[in-house]
Amino acid sequence: MGRQWRIAASVYRRYVGAQRFRRIDRTRRPHLERRQRGQQRVTAQAPLHAFDDGQALATALAARLAEGLRNAIDARGEATIAVSGGNTPKRLFDRLSHEVLDWSRVTVTLVDERWVPDTDERSNARLVESLLLRHNAADAQFVPLYAEAATPEAGIAQVRTRIGTMKLPFDVVVLGMGPDGHTASFFPGGDRLGEALDPTNTAEVLPMRAPNAGEPRITFTLSVLLKARSLYLHIEGADKRVLLEQAEQPDSSLPIASVLHRARQLEIYWCP
C-alpha cells in the first residue's frame, strides 16, 4: 500500500474512532480503543476530541481552558495562558471571554506574533484585544509580544523584560496549525527553526523569518510551550485533519510533528 493510501486509511480509522468517541464518552481516548482492538499505532497519538462544528468545539474548549485557569488560580493565586493567532481561534476567543472566573488574576499572552503594531489587521495582539479581552475577560492582563522597534531583533530585549514579569511555565497553551504544518512561528524553511525546536535551547523567545510567514515574527520556543501545564492543539477542517495524520508519521519533518512527538500531554480539538 502506498504512503497516501496508508495515510487515508489512517484518517478513516481515526475518524471512525472519533465518531465513537463523540457518541459514547468525551473522556475516552480513541487511540487506546484502537490499540485494544489490535490495530498498530504508528506513533504515540494525543487524544482527539472531534465536534460537529466550530461552535460546539469553541464552547467545549473554552470551558476546558477556563477550568485550567480556575485550577491554576486555586493552586497558585494566578494563571497564565498563551494563545495562538490566525483565523481559527476567533470563535474560541469569543466563548472564552464569557467564561466566569477571576480574570483579574489571569495573564494572557500569545504563542507568537507577527512583527506589526496592533493597529495592523495582521496583528495577533489586535485579535486578542478585540475578541478575547472583553466581557468577563476584560479584567485580564495582556502581555504583547510586539514592541515598537523596526525588527524583532531590535525589540526582543523589551519583550524579554515583559516576559520576565510572567510566571512560567504557562498554565494553559493553545496552539494552532497552518496549512503548511507550522505551529506558533515554527515555519517550514524558517531561518531559526532549528533553534526554536531545539530542546536544549534556553531562549524563551526568538525572532523568525520564513518564506510563507508574511512579515518577520517573534515566537516562544518549543521548549517553553511544551512545559505548559496543559497543552491544546485547535484545528478545524478536513485538510488539516489529513495534515495532522501526516505529521503523526514518525518520519514527518513538518514543524507540528515536533509538538506531536515530544509533548507529554497534548489534547487535540478538531471539527470538520
Binding site for ligand 6PG (CB under 6 A): 84-88, 111-112, 114, 124, 176-178, 182-184
Q: Are strands 230-236 and 172-175 parallel, antiparallel or unpaired?
A: parallel
Comparing CB distances to ligand 6PG, the nearer of 20 and 143 is 143
- List the alpha helices (DSSP H) in the chain: 3-24, 30-36, 54-76, 90-97, 124-131, 152-163, 193-197, 222-226, 238-247, 255-262
Closest separation in Å from C-beta 193 to ligand 6PG: 13
Comparing CB distances to ligand 6PG, the nearer of 124 and 249 is 124
Closest separation in Å from C-beta 30 to ligand 6PG: 24
| Sign of the dihedral through C-alpha 59, 64, 139, 118 | negative
Q: Is 58 helix (H, G, I), strand (E, B) or coil?
A: helix
Amino acid at the residue 157:
A
CA distance 93 to 181: 22
Closest separation in Å from C-beta 58 to ligand 6PG: 13
Angle between helices 238-247 and 255-262 (to 10 degrees): 70
How is residue 138 written as a grid cell? Answer: 476584560
Comparing CB distances to ligand 6PG, the nearer of 112 and 171 is 112
Closest separation in Å from C-beta 116 to ligand 6PG: 10
**CA angle 190–193–198, rounded 5-degree value:** 180
Contact 183, 252 (CB under 8 A): no
Cα–Cα distances in angstroms (integers) from residue 164 to residues 67, 204, 230, in the given order: 25, 10, 20
Q: Is 271 helix (H, G, I), strand (E, B) or coil?
A: strand
Comparing CB distances to ligand 6PG, the nearer of 47 and 86 is 86
Closest separation in Å from C-beta 6 to ligand 6PG: 26
Closest separation in Å from C-beta 28 to ligand 6PG: 27
Comparing CB distances to ligand 6PG, the nearer of 21 and 115 is 115
Closest separation in Å from C-beta 269 to ligand 6PG: 12
Comparing CB distances to ligand 6PG, the nearer of 21 and 186 is 186
Backbone angles phi, psi at 5, to 5 degrees: -65, -40
Comparing CB distances to ligand 6PG, the nearer of 31 and 234 is 234
